[in-house]
Amino acid sequence: MKVALIHDHLAQDGGAEKVLKALAELFPNAPIYTLLYEKKHVNRYFKNRCIKTSIIQRLPFGIKYYQWYLPFMPIAVEFFDLTEYDLVISDASAFAKGVITSPHALHICYCHAPTRYLWDYTHKYITELQYNKYFKKIISLVLNYIRIWDRTAADRVDKYITNSKYVKEKIKKYYQHSSTVIYPPVEIDKFYISQNLFYNNQQENYFLVGARIVPYKRIDIVIQAFKILNSCKNSEKPYRTASVQRGKKFKLKIFGDGIDMERIKKIAGDDKNIEFLGYIVDDKIKAELYSNCLAFIYPQEEDFGITAVEAMASGRPVMAFNKGGAVETVVEGKTGIFFNKQTPEAIAETVKNFIPSDFNPQEIREHSKQFSKERFKKQILEFISKYQIRN
């Protein structure tokens, strides 16, 4: 059986790339087709793989400014010749599902979400673009054309897998297809519980947040929450956080990089209790950050949320917005706490009332194991074997 893997673009290291990595391990001889490949971000995972890129890779600024070529991406995906493959697995949140396969091939799509900026997020996406209103009108017309293609492309898939019940409902609504939930793989064994289970005055006690720095991840409201917490006005109010003594400040560490970095740094200003760590490549450093934080803050409405599970694999509780995939991974009172409003005030109140010793790190880590990479691989193989025999 000849297998091909298809991915939207290898230009960042996020949750979709972790899924692709696991799929690539399952099928070590399968080539990876993708619109473009930026080595500096993902080469450590796919260094020795056969990677076949589209024409966009060779266009001027096709890697650095690939968003410019958005109108041509549907055509670029359709140019891939996959006629020799029996099994095609697309790992898609946008264009990969639109590949054209041969009549005898089985096309399985692991769909992270119906393309966000075409469906449920399209109006916010246009609003957040840093362009004038006339250029935004042009972009809206382009998105309308791509939306029509996206809906047609969705019908080229034989079977859908998705990353959460939350996204399963979106696939049904926008694509009119049923799907099977297989939670994404998390490399649980890379994370560990800190030996310092109870924090003291000598340690650097901090809260942690991390993601790609883009508007919908809502890092901005976390920063605003900590500015509220550390304000002179707030310091007179009582709070329960056992690890922060009166007179001390609430420390926040932020890891990640992205297009929204300049804006959120302006929000943080010169607050010395808010630290930007940048993009972290070293897995040991990331594991240490998770393991020693008081709690991980998860403010976004996400399709699944691998970073929240990574924090739980480190035995740390998660403070999460009560919507999206977090509802399926975080257990209120056992592995974390939910806040119901996506506002700085709601986050600040949650942090103020948080007591680390209320949570058992061993129980939290044990809960995270149900999202392991080994479980993911097993379920993927079972799914493929179920649908492999065709007419």
Amino acid 225: pLDDT: 95
Query: Half-sphere exposure (CA, 13 Å, Cβ side) for 349?
Result: 10
Query: Mean pLDDT in the chain?
Result: 89
Global pTM? 0.86
Higher pLDDT, 13 or 270: 270
Q: Is residue 149 within 8 Å of 94, Cβ to Cβ? A: no
Amino acid 232: pLDDT: 55
Highest mean pLDDT among 280-289, 349-358, 375-384: 375-384
Amino acid 135: pLDDT: 76
Q: What are the backbone angles phi and psi of residue 181, rounded to the nearest 5°?
A: -85, 120
Q: What percent of the chain has pLDDT over 70?
A: 92
Instruction: Evaluate whether 3-185+372-387 and 188-371 have a shared fold.
Output: yes
DSSP element (H, E) containing 88: strand 87-92
Higher pLDDT, 2 or 68: 2
Q: Tell whether the model's pLDDT for residue 242 goes beyond 50.
A: no
Rg from Cα positions in the chain:
22
Q: Is residue 85 within 8 Å of 4, Cβ to Cβ? A: yes
CATH placement of domain 3-185+372-387: 3.40.50
Task: Supply the angle between the helices 15-26 and 39-46 in degrees, to the nearest 10.
Answer: 30
Amino acid 155: pLDDT: 97
Domain boundaries defined on the chain: 3-185+372-387, 188-371
Amino acid 89: pLDDT: 98
> What is the residue whose two structure tokens read 């119906």?
114
Higher pLDDT, 134 or 224: 224
Q: Tell whether the model's pLDDT for residue 236 goes beyond 50.
A: no
Q: What percent of the chain has pLDDT over 90?
A: 68
Least confident of 77-86, 132-141, 275-284, 373-382: 132-141
Higher pLDDT, 127 or 18: 18
**Planar angle of CA 312, 296, 352, nearest 5 degrees:** 125
Q: Tell whether the model's pLDDT for residue 245 goes beyond 50.
A: no
SS (H, E, C) 202-270: CCCCCEEEECCCCHHHCHHHHHHHHHHHCCHHHHCCCCCCCCCCCCCCCCEEEECCCCCHHHHHHHHCC
Amino acid 203: pLDDT: 57
* 327-348 pLDDT, tens digit each: 999 999 999 999 999 999 999 9
Ordered strands of the 296-298 beta sheet: 274-278, 252-255, 207-210, 296-298, 318-321, 336-339
Q: How confident is the model at residue 30 (pLDDT cuts 50, 70, 90)?
A: very high
Q: Which superfamily does CATH assign the domain made up of 188-371 to? A: Glycogen Phosphorylase B; (3.40.50.2000)
Give the mean model confidence (pLDDT) for residues 41-55: 84
The string of DSSP letters for 168-209 reads HHHHHHHH----EE-PPPB-GGG----S--S--TTS---EEE
Q: How far apart are CA 139 and CA 8, in angstroms?
A: 20
